[in-house]
Chains A and B, each alone.
Chain A
Amino acid sequence: MNNYKLIKLGKFDESVMNNKTTQNISVKIDGKTVNAPVGTTVLQATQKAGIYIPTLCYLENIKPYGGCRLCIVEIKNMRGYPTACTTPIAQDMEISTKTPELQKLRRDILELVLSEHPYTCLVCRDKNNCNEFMTTTRKVSVTTGCNFCTNNGNCELQELVEYLELTEIKYPWAYKEIKPEKNNPFYDIDYNLCILCGRCVRVCNEVRYSEVLNFVQRGNLVIVGTAFGESQKDAGCEFCGACIDVCPTGSLSEKMGKWVGIPDKSTETTCVFCSVACKMNINTKDNRIVNVGPNPDNRTNPLQLCVRGKFVPGDIMHHPERITTPMLKKENKWIEVSWDEAINFTVNKLEQYRGNQFGIIGSAHESLENNYVLQKFSRKLMKSNNVDILSSFPDKNIIKKIHDYYTHHKPANIDDITNADTIFVIGSQTNLSHPIIENRIRKAAKNGKKVIVANTHDTRTSYFAEQNILYKQGEEHIFLLSLLSVLNNKISGKLSNDLKQEFKNFDIEKAFKRCGVSRQDIEKIAKSLLNSKKSVIIAGDGILINPDSIYNFNALVNIQTILKKPETCKIIFLLNEGNFYGSTIAGLHSDFLPGFDELANKKNIKKWSDNWKTKLNNTKGLSGNEMVNNITEDGITALFVVGDIPAHPNLAKLKFLVQQNMFLTELSEHAHVFFPITGFTETNGHIINLERKLKEITPVTASAKDIKTVWETISNLARVMQEKGFDYKKPEDIFSEINSFIDLSFATEEKAKKEILPIRADVSDKKKKLPVEIIAENNYFNYLGNDLLKLIPDMEDILGEGGSGSSSGSGSGSGSSSGII
């Protein structure tokens, strides 16, 4: 019967889905000749030809499943009705997609699918009027719509019923009587609506590798569930929300915007919560965020997001506690005032504190433009070089080191992770800090790549690792040195000899003992790194937020340099906040003018004095730590803080403190003026992510009238203070100003220097005491210094223990901002 040589489905590989193969074959679909590469499925070929085939379980970029049977087609000389999604095309196939018989079968199949789904709304004769009456309180539910699912229009069954012109369903509706689950703050689960298409199960296991959902039970008892019916949290759900994005029914639905109706606008913007800077699509209605994530034109191919990107924006932008008007503190009480009053008051005060007694601390979540204007205000107008940023890095010089590294080595791309043979992850809680990086690591592991994880404790990444190293806390540097030394002994050459000199007094056996990793383990890592064609080293907080961070950095770069082909090894430095690198290049650093021009160099002061048509102060700037420690009569007396800084007794001694933030924080107790600030979904701008790519932020909603961006606030202050050079009309003006001074395309690349960076090869027994705030693990759930776990109801219950890292005693801010105090 079968004349075609079919490719077995087991061979289905991603290269086919990405159309990388070149050999084309032609098939006839509904009389139309279509050329498609070998291995393409019939469904993909028809989609390419612009012919619609109804589907329910199909998901682009995931291995086909063939569960719903709606995509059945007729193929000449082939028995029965094969499913288009699982049948690969063969030369001269003749496919019909829409014969009356097929449509009848599809209708029957859909009827059966719907017999377990509340279908009344689908075949209701008043369905066209439904939207109008749907949101009425329903004492009269029968006539004004049913409230089984959300009314945000996310129902593919509706579309299918319409397409197949189904007006009646002959089966009674079998209600499954499953109790809806509302066990988490982000989404509701009602498996009574589930049609068992398996999309959520597959996305959870094959795309996100969270492995939480699966089909349980057998026969008509089958439902999607977790092991032993545990709650999503206990089952290890990471709340990435991918299952909601792919659900074709209302079975899984976001709590946010559940009853808001169909969104009227969808805007693409960039997430700033971490430095991966994912593209995100935000759906809004009436200037409110409805939900985040899926691309409305292509729901089944969700942009990948994590719990922060998917669920947080709407919650914080429309938070009831958000401050929406400027405030002045009068007699220890916050009084709401107009912008003019607040600005005039601030200007009067600021006039008294010009010079070295003034300081600005910005936020790494703010855009390039805002931070540029902020530091320009301090340097040009206030004549103070005391500018810094609230970030998680205790050693501010690490960012300069990373910048220098970038000028010699092309920054790694996120996709380099999946392309590498060996992935070496050190000291990182990637699943919490950078879930999308974690996703790539898991993907690589599942594709059989070698993943080596080294950390002080087991993390979720360890589960995917081929080799799992546990080193002692605080001995990161010794661990890296041991690896470097072992690696170096296997290599010869000039660099290697230089390095051997450094290791002259290095007692390696003692080092193994001190870091708690055996020689065999380190030899094994060295072997993997040496033998792999491409490798990626991912350095996380454990390495970078560390008293030895600079030496750790050097050791890592040395490892890369001495490898046989250093250009095939890439290092990814996991910066935490979205725009840390961008903020520093914009000049928000006590030692560097914009573009990493050293402040200590007179030439640079001259250059930027000319650029800004002013005379800059050449006093050395203070870092955030120094500023706070230096709050005295003749030290720092006034601060301007964007976001928040951790509590410190000195702050009470400030004569003048301006805070600009979305919420009142602990710091606000000491503040005299409070300006409301826009969130990242309300403003234009750019950020630079960990791949050193410039990413654009676009406004999704308009902010309330009295909420202003940092640059607007600063321009207003400068206007009243009668200073020129701050008359920006829109963020684009600032961006073009930055662009005229700094090359943000990073086109010039210097050739990699082959040199060994200094290390501290010393295994003396004195153990350095780590400052408490450095041991306390980072709280990744913060925005502009605000603790998201506290702001969003129940988020702490769900993510608290594991969410902010293992040591939960870090308290608000102390972890997130260890760089300051």
Chain B
Amino acid sequence: MKDTIDAILKKHIPKEKGNLIPVLQSVQKKEGYISPESVKRISNYFRISRSSIYGIATFYSQFRFNPPGRHSIKICLGTACHVQGGDFILKALQAEIGISPGETTDDMRFDLDRVACLGCCALAPVVMIDNKIHSRMSVIKLKELLNKYE
């Protein structure tokens, strides 16, 4: 991990602090998430404090701070899905797998995210698991669905 981050950092000059976000994006691409260790390395390289980097990264929803699970669940909370009870499904799912959006289960089985729209409002409410869209979700259907993913 050390090497991958160093390889990414080497492409940028320490003085060009504006490259922080591209660096964070590359790190996330390589490692799947932004770890405390990588923030430390980036902080030392650019001389930007760790809390600043964390502050900047948390501003953007594209960055996650937990390692991705084997399967990623994205719950749509766009207008149509919200109206159709997406919120309710999210709450039920949180209770089922015991994590909040942005987190990963302890057994690394699932990670959970909320998204604003997946572009298939006619099928609302939708849940996306590993790039596959599951339409007209209900709590019971979702529970059954989860069993298919190990």
Contact = CB atoms under 8 A, between A and B. Distances in A.
The answer on A and B forming one complex is: yes
Contacts, number: 46
Interface in A211-244: 211-218, 225-228, 235-236
B19 interface: no
Nearest to A210: B49
A205 B58 contact: no
A175 interface: no
Contact of B51 (A214, A217, A218, A463): A214
Contacts of A218: 58-61
Contact of A227 (B50, B59, B60, B61): B50
A228 B49 contact: no
A205 B49 contact: yes
Contact of A213 (B36, B51, B58): B51
Given A215-B55, A218-B60, A235-B51, 20 more contacts: A205-B49, A205-B52, A211-B50, A211-B51, A212-B49, A212-B51, A214-B51, A214-B52, A214-B54, A214-B55, A216-B54, A216-B55, A217-B59, A225-B54, A226-B51, A228-B39, A228-B65, A235-B50, A236-B50, A463-B47
A211 B55 CA distance: 12
Interface in B1-60: 36, 39, 44, 47, 49-55, 58-60
A138 B131 CA distance: 55
A214 B53 CA distance: 9
Contact of B58 (A211, A217, A235): A217
A228 B55 CA distance: 9
13 contacts: A205-B49, A214-B49, A214-B51, A215-B55, A217-B58, A218-B59, A225-B55, A226-B54, A227-B36, A227-B50, A228-B36, A235-B50, A463-B44
Contacts of B55: 214-216, 225
A211 B36 contact: no
Contacts of B61: 218
A426 B54 CA distance: 33
Contacts of A228: 36, 39, 54, 65
Given A228-B36, A228-B65, A211 B49 contact: yes
B50 A216 contact: no
B108 to A, nearest CB: 19
Contacts of A216: 51, 54-55, 58
Interface of B: 36, 39, 44, 47, 49-55, 58-61, 65
Contacts of A211: 49-52
Given A217-B59, A218-B58, A218-B59, A227 B51 contact: yes
Main secondary structure of the interface of B (DSSP, over half): helix
B39 A227 contact: yes
Interface string A193-218: 00000000000010000011111111
Interface string A249-260: 000000000000
A211 B58 CA distance: 17
A129 B60 CA distance: 47
Nearest to A221: B58
A700 B40 CA distance: 44
Nearest to B59: A218
B118 to A, nearest CB: 21
Nearest to B51: A214
A235 B54 CA distance: 12
A215 B57 CA distance: 11
Contacts of B65: 228
A162 to B, nearest CB: 34
B84 to A, nearest CB: 24
Nearest to B49: A211
B14 to A, nearest CB: 12
* Of A205, A213, A215, A217, most B-chain CB atoms within 10 Å: A215
Contacts of B54: 214, 216, 225-228
A214 B52 CA distance: 6
A227 B53 contact: yes
Interface string A458-474: 00000100000000000
Which 9 residue pairs across A and B have the least CB separation, nearest first?
A211-B49, A214-B55, A227-B54, A214-B51, A227-B50, A227-B51, A216-B58, A218-B59, A216-B55
Contacts of B51: 211-214, 216, 225-227, 235
Interface in A441-464: 463
A591 B51 CA distance: 52
Interface string A729-748: 00000000000000000000
A135 to B, nearest CB: 36
A197 to B, nearest CB: 16
Nearest to B34: A228
A35 B53 CA distance: 42
A138 B9 CA distance: 56
A695 to B, nearest CB: 34
Contacts of B39: 227-228
Nearest to B43: A227
Contacts of A213: 51
A463 B58 CA distance: 24
Contacts of A212: 49, 51
* Of B51, B53, B55, most A-chain CB atoms within 10 Å: B51
